Amino acid sequence: MTLLDAFSLEGKTAVITGASSGLGVAFANGFAEAGADVAICARRVEKLEQTKEQVEAIGRRCVAVQADVARPEDCDRFVEQAVDELGKVDVLINNAGIGTAAPATREVPDEFRKVIDINLNGSYWMAQACGRAMGKSGGGSIVNIGSVLGSTTAGLPQAAYAASKAAIIGLTRDLAQQWTGRKNIRVNALAPGFFESEMTEQYPEGYLDQMMFRVPMARKGEARELVAAAIFLASDASSYVTGILLPVDGGLLTT
C-alpha cells in the first residue's frame, strides 16, 4: 500500500447520520468519492432520498433509512439494515445534531433536553449500535462531529449546544480507551469552526461574517475541508490516531 492508498475508503462501508442536509450531504458525497459505500439516515425522508440519488450517481451503493438518533431502537434498526444490505460497517460519522440560541434564563427544559438528546445521547446510541457491528467484523473507525463551541464560546447564548459538544469530547476519549485496544475501533472527534450549514441559517444576519475577526485564516470553512479531515480519521491514514479532538477551524482555537 502506498501512502496515498492509505487515504482510500475503497471497499469500506460508512454510516453517516444527519445526511439530509448541509454538512451531512457533503460527508455522504465525499465518502462516496473516496470509494465507500454509504448508509445514511435522517428524520426527513424526502431530502434523504435526494442524498441517496447523489451518492448513487457517483457510482457507490447507498442505503437510506428514516431514523431519529435520539431513539436507541432507531439506531439499532438503521445499523442492522446497513449490515443486511451492505454487508458490514467500517466507519461511523456521527453528524446528526441541532442547535438553539436561547438565553439561559428563558430556555425551557424541553428545548434543552432535545438538544442533549440528539447531539449527545444520539451520538452515544449510534456509537453503541455501530460498535457492536464493527466488533463482529474486526474493527472500524468512529468520527464524532463536535464543535469549537465545546471548547470556547462565540457570542450567542448556546448553553445546550455548547454543553452537548463539550460532552462529545469526553465521550470520544472514553470510547477510545474502551474500544481501541479490545475491539480495534478507533474513536476520534472533529471540532468544526465556522461553516455555513442549515443550523447557521438560524443565526442573526451577518453573524458568521462578524465572527471572522476571531479566525486567523479570516474566512469561513468550506465543506470539502471538513470532509477531508473526516476521511483522514476514517481511513487507514490515521491508523495510529485515537481519542483525539481535531479542530478544523481556521485557527480559531489558537486565539
The CA angle 191-194-198, to the nearest 5 degrees, is: 100
DSSP 118: I
Instruction: Answer yes or no: 161 catalytic.
Output: yes
User: How far apart are the C-alpha atoms of 250 and 255, rounded to whole Å?
Assistant: 10
Catalytic annotation, pick one of 161, 203, 207, 240: 161
Please answer whether residues 31 and 143 qualify as being in contact, where contact means their C-beta atoms are separated by less than 8 angstroms: no
Ramachandran area for residue 224 (φ above 0: left; ψ -120 to 50: alpha; else beta): alpha
DSSP 188: E
Query: 41 forms bridges with which residues in the sheet?
Result: 17, 65
Query: Comparing C-alpha atoms, which of 170, 149, 179, 174 is closest to residue 161?
Result: 149
For the chain, the distance separating the N- and C-terminal CA atoms, rounded to the nearest angstrom, is 39
User: How far apart are the C-alpha atoms of 63 and 37, rounded to whole Å?
Assistant: 9
For strands 37-42 and 62-66, give the pairing: parallel
Kindly list the distances between the CA atom of residue 187 and the CA atoms of 102, 146, 226, in Å, as whole numbers in the listed order: 31, 13, 17
SS3 per residue for 192-217: ECCECCCCHHHCCCCHHHHHHHHCCC
Please answer whether residues 148 and 193 qualify as being in contact, where contact means their C-beta atoms are separated by less than 8 angstroms: yes
DSSP 120: I
Catalytic residues: 161
